[in-house]
Amino acid sequence: MAEFSFDTSQALNAAFGLGASLITFDSSHQHAARGLDNFPNASVVDFDNDNTKSYLGTPIAFPVTLLGGSYNYYNDGQIRQKELGDLLLPATTIVDFRRSKIKRKTPISGGSGTVKELYGLDDWQIRIRGLMMDQDGKFPEKTITQLLAFEGVTDAIGVSGKLFNLLSIYSIDINEITLPQQPGYPNLRPFVIMAESTQPVELILR
C-alpha cells in the first residue's frame, strides 16, 4: 500500500484559518506521534504548562482520547447499554477551552458600575477541531462512525488528555458535531465538536 501524505498546513488553513505548520507535543506519549508520518510538515515539541502555543504562536495539537466503556443510549425510547472502545482523535486535533463565572450584576442606582454577586464557575465550554482521513488517504468512514456512536450516548463521556487533566476535566457532554465538506480534499473530512465539561452523578432511589 502506497504511503499517503498531504500538506497539513494548507488543509488546516482552508478548514479553520490556521495557516502555520501544525505542532504536536509530548514525544514521550505513546500516541503523540501516531499518524504524523503522513504529515511531513508537522513537528513535535515538549509540553509546557505555561505555554499552549508554539514559538511561532500557532496552536499545539494535544492527544485526546474519548474513553470507551459501557454507556447508556436510547433505543426506541428505552435506555439500553452498549460497549464502546477508546477513540483516539486524529493527530491534527486542536482543543480550545472557555469558562465564565456564574454571577449576578445589580446596577448601582444613581451611580456608575454594578454590584457583583459571585456564585461560582460555569462548566468549561470546549471546542475540539481537527482533520480526519484514513492513513491510506481514503474517506474516514470508520472514524466518523465511532465518533457518532459517542455522540449518541446519554452518559457523561470519559476523556483523557494532558490539557483536560490539567483543567480537572475527566468527562464531557457533546452538544454538537459538525462535519463540513473540504473543497479540494474529497476524502479529508474536517470535524468540529462542541462540548462542555460535566461530572457524572449517580442517584440512588430507595
Q: What are phi and psi of 37, to 5 degrees?
A: -60, -30
Q: Judge whether 206 lies within some domain.
A: no
- Looking up cell 485526546, which residue turns up? 64
- Intra-chain end-to-end CA distance of the chain, in Å: 59
pLDDT of residue 39: 57
What residue numbers bound the domain in which 149 lies? Answer: 8-197
Q: Please, which residues bridge with residue 178 across strands? A: 192
Asked if the structure places residue 33 within a domain, the reply is yes
The pTM of the full predicted model, rounded to 2 decimals, is: 0.77
Residue 153 belongs to a domain: yes
Q: Supply the CATH number for residue 112's domain.
A: 2.40.30.200
Domain-located, residue 68? yes
Question: Is 205 a domain residue?
Answer: no
Per-residue pLDDT of the chain (206 residues; tens, 9 = 90+): 445 556 666 777 777 776 555 555 455 444 444 545 555 566 666 665 545 555 455 556 677 899 999 999 988 888 889 999 999 888 778 888 999 988 888 888 877 888 888 788 899 999 999 888 876 778 889 999 999 999 999 989 999 988 898 899 999 999 999 998 877 778 888 999 999 999 876 655 56
For residue 16, give the nearest of 129, 126, 178, 177 by alpha carbon.
129
Residue 1 counted as domain residue: no
The total number of structural domains in the chain stands at 1
| Residue 202 within any structural domain of the chain | no
Q: Is residue 175 part of a domain?
A: yes
